[in-house]
């Protein structure tokens, strides 16, 4: 009886510690399971065109037509639509390898109200094909962000897109999923996934507007951010004017 009385405080103490640990673990798990949720507005203006005509005689007609130049001006809001998170400019060039593949480079300058101006360079390999009324696209991108060591400087992006061309219907649906992978000093880490669904409408041969609903999710962090993004875009192709 005496040994039981002496051992009981130890048993009770151990039970208290285990209960406290389980409660803390449950609370921590609940905190981890509650992501930060945001809503953003993205607006973009995209202008595409070919090389200046002076290059047509230098390169030849076939090679000249394979090049495409592009410029984009974009606005991305914070959780309040009128509060800017960043305003950016993209300058890019693409070269069509054949009927399905092209390669490109894009340089971005991003202006952020509460941070320094950011720069990044992207190299891209694009593939597209059609099967019946389906359109299939894939983009492999390598992205270098000019930031300090320890942040996500080297990114690999894989984007898969699917569209369907309805007969006699102007608003054809488009869906896509993009995976972001950080290649850094800690190895290879999947950092986020971006899903989108939307449509585009051709005002004329050269003018097009697009609407998308985008869902962006962080991965590999304790308290991830989930963003619902409402995207509106306008594109002008100078080659079709």
Query: Strand 118-131 relative to strand 67-77: parallel, antiparallel, unpaired?
Result: unpaired
The reported pLDDT for the residue numbered 67 is 97
Q: List, for residues 76-104, the tens digit of each pLDDT value.
A: 998 888 888 999 999 999 999 999 999 99
Q: Do 2 and 57 lie in a common domain? A: no
Q: Do 139 and 48 lie in a common domain? A: yes
Q: Which residues are within 8 A (CB) of 133 and not within 5 positions of it... i.e. 6 or more apart?
A: 164, 165, 166, 167
Q: Do 174 and 201 lie in a common domain? A: yes
Q: Which domain holds residue 110?
A: 39-240
Of 186, 196, 170, nearest to 220 by C-alpha is: 186
Q: Do 22 and 97 lie in a common domain? A: no
Q: Do 95 and 23 lie in a common domain? A: no
Query: Does 115 have pLDDT greater than 90?
Result: no
Q: Do 29 and 93 lie in a common domain? A: no
Q: Do 128 and 173 lie in a common domain? A: yes
Q: Do 158 and 139 lie in a common domain? A: yes
Number of structural domains in the chain: 2
Q: How far apart are CA 62 and CA 121, in angstroms?
A: 28
Q: Looking at per-residue confidence, does 114 or 96 come out higher?
A: 96
CA dihedral 37, 192, 28, 11 (to 10 degrees): 160
Q: Do 118 and 227 lie in a common domain? A: yes
Summary mean pLDDT of the chain: 88
The reported pLDDT for the residue numbered 152 is 82
Q: In CATH, what number is assigned to the domain containing residue 201? A: 2.40.160
Q: How far apart are CA 72 and CA 49, in angstroms?
A: 12
Q: List, for residues 142-163, the tens digit of each pLDDT value.
A: 999 998 877 788 999 999 999 9
Q: Do 204 and 183 lie in a common domain? A: yes
Residues in the chain: 241
Query: Does 189 have pLDDT greater than 60?
Result: yes
Q: Do 13 and 58 lie in a common domain? A: no
């Amino acid at each position: 009886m005496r040994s039981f009385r002496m051992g009981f405080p130890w048993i009770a103490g151990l039970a208290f510690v285990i209960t406290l640990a389980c409660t803390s673990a449950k609370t921590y798990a609940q905190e981890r399971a509650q992501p930060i949720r945001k809503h953003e507005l993205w607006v973009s203006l995209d202008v595409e065109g070919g090389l200046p005509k002076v290059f047509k005689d230098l390169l030849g007609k076939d090679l000249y037509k394979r090049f495409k130049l592009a410029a984009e001006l974009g606005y991305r809001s914070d959780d309040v639509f009128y509060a800017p998170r960043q305003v950016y400019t993209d300058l890019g060039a693409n070269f069509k390898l054949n009927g399905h593949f092209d390669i490109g480079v894009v340089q971005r300058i991003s202006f952020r109200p509460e941070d320094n101006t950011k720069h990044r360079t992207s190299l891209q390999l694009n593939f597209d094909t059609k099967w019946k009324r389906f359109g299939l696209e894939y983009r492999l991108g390598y992205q270098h962000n000019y930031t300090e060591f320890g942040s996500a400087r080297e990114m690999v992006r894989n984007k898969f897109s699917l569209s369907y061309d309805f007969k006699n219907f102007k608003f054809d649906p488009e869906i896509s999923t993009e995976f972001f992978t950080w290649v850094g000093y800690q190895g290879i880490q999947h950092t986020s996934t971006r899903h989108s669904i939307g449509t585009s409408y051709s005002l004329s041969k050269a003018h097009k507007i697009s609407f998308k609903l985008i869902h962006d999710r962080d991965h590999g962090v304790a308290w991830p951010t989930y963003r619902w993004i409402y995207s509106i875009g306008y594109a002008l192709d100078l080659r079709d004017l």
